[in-house]
């Protein structure tokens, strides 16, 4: 379960705001790369928090349909961007029409999910054939450091190194097309494609 003060801390802390903006920029760049030529763009963000990333994507892709799913009701209670849709729910219980999104996002989410295999299976079903999943997972060593120094609480079920993240996507049926470490963000990036 996420720290319910997360959004307040993120808004007050310069470093947190900077990291979020960099993560949003990276994600928007990847959405553009992996969804190029797909027509009307539809983006699903699992673990959308308050929708900040979707708002950023909507700024870059004004015609995109942006839907977020977030389990923490308190994250959804703040001022909402009317251009995006935020739904309360869990990724592992996702029940969206099959084949309805071009791109799905999991940004620092897999670590917080008790049944990641089920969530990834449902995300795969929600994607259109050839659709992409863009996933960022925090570097395990960085997570250990931040928890060990008391900077954040231990709220992960599991941490994934780059190889484990790629294996999780492959086991769910994705073809892994990119796997790398983004050192400036302390994240591993893994991109999977749904077979056409």
CA 12 to chain CA centroid, Å, is 22
Which residue in 125, 67, 114 sits closest to 92, CA to CA?
A: 114
What is the model's pLDDT at position 143? 65
What is the model's pLDDT at position 32? 94
The answer to whether residues 110 and 137 touch, using CB atoms and an 8 Å cutoff, is yes
What is the model's pLDDT at position 81? 86
Q: Exposure of 95 by Cβ count < 10 A (0-12 exposed, 13-18 middle, 19+ buried)?
A: exposed
Class assignment of domain 6-193?
A: alpha beta
Q: Coil, helix or strand for 16? A: helix
Per-10-residue mean pLDDT for the chain, 196 residues long?
56 68 92 85 93 93 94 74 91 91 94 92 96 90 72 77 96 97 90 96
What is the model's pLDDT at position 185? 82
């Amino acid at each position: 379960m996420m720290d319910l003060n997360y959004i307040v801390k993120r808004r007050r802390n310069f470093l947190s705001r900077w990291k979020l903006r960099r993560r949003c920029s990276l994600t928007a760049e990847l959405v553009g790369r992996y969804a190029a030529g797909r027509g009307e763009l539809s983006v699903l963000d699992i673990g959308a928090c308050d929708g900040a990333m979707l708002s950023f994507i909507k700024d870059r892709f004004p015609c995109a349909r942006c839907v977020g799913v977030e389990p923490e009701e308190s994250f959804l209670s703040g001022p909402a961007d009317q251009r995006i849709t935020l739904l309360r729910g869990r990724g592992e219980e996702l029940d969206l029409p099959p084949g309805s999104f071009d791109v799905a996002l999991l940004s620092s989410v897999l670590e917080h999910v008790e049944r990641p295999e089920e969530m990834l299976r449902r995300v795969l079903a929600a994607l259109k054939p050839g659709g992409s999943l863009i996933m960022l997972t925090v570097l395990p060593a960085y997570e250990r450091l931040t928890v060990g120094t008391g900077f954040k609480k231990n709220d992960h079920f599991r941490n994934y190194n780059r190889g484990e993240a790629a294996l999780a996507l492959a086991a769910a049926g994705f073809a892994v097309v990119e796997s790398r470490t983004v050192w400036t963000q302390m994240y591993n990036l893994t991109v999977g494609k749904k077979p056409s």
